[in-house]
Amino acid sequence: MEPTSSASIARQTWELENNIPAAATDPDAMDAIYRYDDSVQARAQQEKPWANDPHHFRRTKISALALLKMVVHARAGGTIEVMGLMQGKCEGDAIIVMDAFALPVEGTETRVNAQADAYEYMVEYSTINKQAGRLENVVGWYHSHPGYGCWLSGIDVSTQMLNQQFTEPFLAVVIDPTRTVSAGKVEIGAFRTYPKDYKPPDEPVSEYQTIPLNKIEDFGVHCKSYYALDITYFKSSLDSHLLDLLWNKYWVNTLSSSPLLGNRDYVAGQIFDLADKLEQAEGQLAHSRFGGMIMPSQRKKEQEESPLAKVTRDSSKITAEQVHGLMSQVIKDILFNSVHPSSKASTSAPDSSGPEPMVEA
């Protein structure tokens, strides 16, 4: 029973398959990113390579700590949008986020006024942190969209455009804590806006996500004025070591999590939204049924899908998540409930449950 060695073999296989360079696992190289060199940053500020190319930054690297802090803060806000700032540096065409901290302002409507409060807090926090060894500058902001996806709303776009005019380099990150918990994977997006009047080249559509009906107009109007950056994560050697060990205590939580129970409200909302979208799609399709006159207008580009197809995609996604949750419940039921004290366990069967679900490798 060597969970650590089989886990490390599995990880090495995975790393090989995903072409992670060997340097990524060397502890000194991993930790090199934590060094903050003032002169390099000052030089970058003077050169401003981003001033000429609106598409200059293409990637972002987020540290494990920053991700954890942002997700926890976003989740703590519940259904209220929360926001905070990120500290880091830039390196070539990547913005590196080392740390994040929360701001004591909430809500979207009052965002413009709250900027003053936020700036005060931010200045105080940054100066204090410099004393304690956190030398990086503020390099972006993050906020949460609980339940309605990772994209920039109209207010967000104008805020970000303002920031990109005056405090470059700046990055906008959006986190959806509700979808994170529901889907079991982190829902996060990093964006930068194009300057006004800039015509972006036609971008391939990024990963599709479902947007609730009441927000879809806001999304559609502005979705062309910003672009998404690739997100990768990094962690220090000590972090990896600790996280590995953490698994020894963590597996209990993994097994005992019940996504079905936790997400009831969210799923109900999603289904409701889906029903509305279905009605809309039905209305659109009904018009096209009669006569070929309208046919040519229906011929769309290959990329766009008819509303009905979109609804189908959304419904499959929700259902898949539900099925995952149900599978966990069924597995737990088999493990812990199908035991009867009357049956005499044979001498060689150590497990207390009847059917042996998994055989240890």
Partner 1 sequence: MSAPSDAAPAVSAPAPTTTAAASSGGFTFKLHPLVIVNVSDHHTRVKAQAACSGDSSSSSSAAGAGAGAGQPPRVFGCVIGVQRGRTVEIFNSFELVLDPVSGTLDRAFLEKKQELYKKVFPDFYVLGWYSTGSDVHDTDMQIHKALMDVNESPVYLLLNPTINLSQKDLPVTIYESELHVIDGSPQLIFVRSNYTIETVEAERISVDHVAHLKPSDGGSAATQLAAHLTGIHSAIKMLNSRVRVIHQYLVAMQKGDIPVDNSLLRQVSSLVRRLPAMESQKFQDDFLMEYNDTLLMTYLAMFTNCSSTMNELVEKINTSYERPTTRRGGRGAFM
Residues 278-307 that bind partner 1 (CB under 8 A): 278, 285, 288, 291-292, 295-296, 298, 306
**Minimum separation from the CB atom of position 156 to partner 1 (A):** 21
Q: Is 124 in the site for partner 1 (CB under 8 A)?
A: yes
3-state helix, strand, coil in the chain (%, to 5): 50, 15, 30
**Minimum separation from the CB atom of position 117 to partner 1 (A):** 9
Q: Name which of 53 and 355 has its Cβ closer to partner 1.
A: 355
Q: Name which of 162 and 334 has its Cβ closer to partner 1.
A: 334
Structure token pair of residue 207: 């990963």
Q: Name which of 110 and 353 has its Cβ closer to partner 1.
A: 353
Q: Which helix (H) or strand (E) holds 96?
A: strand 94-106
Q: Which range of residues in 85-93, 130-138, 166-174, 218-226 is near partner 1 by CB under 8 A? A: 130-138
Cβ atoms of 97 and 171 closer than 8 Å:
yes
Q: Is 69 in the site for partner 1 (CB under 8 A)?
A: yes
Q: Quick one: which of 196, 199, 249, 300 contacts partner 1 (CB under 8 A)?
A: 249
Q: Is 134 in the site for partner 1 (CB under 8 A)?
A: yes
Q: Is 108 in the site for partner 1 (CB under 8 A)?
A: no
Q: Name which of 48 and 264 has its Cβ closer to partner 1.
A: 264
Cβ atoms of 95 and 139 closer than 8 Å:
yes
Q: Give residues 142-171 in contact with partner 1 (rule: CB under 8 A).
A: none
DSSP string across 207-270: S-----HHHHHHHHHHTTSEEEEEEEEE--HHHHHHHHHHHHHHHHHHHH--HHHHTHHHHHHH
Q: Is 80 in the site for partner 1 (CB under 8 A)?
A: no
φ and ψ of 84, to 5 deg: -165, 180
Q: Name which of 217 and 230 has its Cβ closer to partner 1.
A: 230
Q: Is 132 in the site for partner 1 (CB under 8 A)?
A: yes
Question: Judged by CB under 8 A, how many residues of this single chain contact partner 1?
Answer: 121
Q: Name which of 45 and 248 has its Cβ closer to partner 1.
A: 248
Pairing of strands 82-91, 137-144: antiparallel
Q: Give residues 218-247 in contact with partner 1 (rule: CB under 8 A).
A: 231-233, 235-247
Is 262 exposed, middle or buried, given 0-12, 13-18 or 19+ CB atoms closer than 10 A? middle
Q: Which helix (H) or strand (E) holds 151?
A: none
Instruction: Give 96's strand partners.
Output: 61, 89
Q: Quick one: which of 19, 21, 22, 35 contacts partner 1 (CB under 8 A)?
A: 35
Cα-based torsion angle of the residue sequence 176, 179, 184, 186 in order, rounded to the nearest 10 degrees = -20
φ and ψ of 353, to 5 deg: -95, 155
Mask for 319-358, x = binds partner 1 (CB under 8 A)? xx-xxxxxxxxxx-x-xxxxxxx--------xxxx---xx
Q: Is 137 in the site for partner 1 (CB under 8 A)?
A: no
Closest by Cα among 31, 23, 29, 66 to 238: 31
Measured distance CA(267)–CA(263) in Å, rounded: 6
**Minimum separation from the CB atom of position 60 to partner 1 (A):** 12
Q: Is 308 in the site for partner 1 (CB under 8 A)?
A: yes
Q: Name which of 21 and 133 has its Cβ closer to partner 1.
A: 133
Closest by Cα among 54, 60, 43 to 160: 54
Closest by Cα among 136, 118, 116, 115 to 126: 136
- Start-to-end Cα distance in the chain: 9
Q: Is 44 in the site for partner 1 (CB under 8 A)?
A: no
Q: Quick one: which of 78, 92, 104, 107 contacts partner 1 (CB under 8 A)?
A: 104
Q: Quick one: which of 214, 255, 272, 279 contacts partner 1 (CB under 8 A)?
A: 255
Q: Is 64 in the site for partner 1 (CB under 8 A)?
A: yes
Cβ atoms of 172 and 75 closer than 8 Å:
no
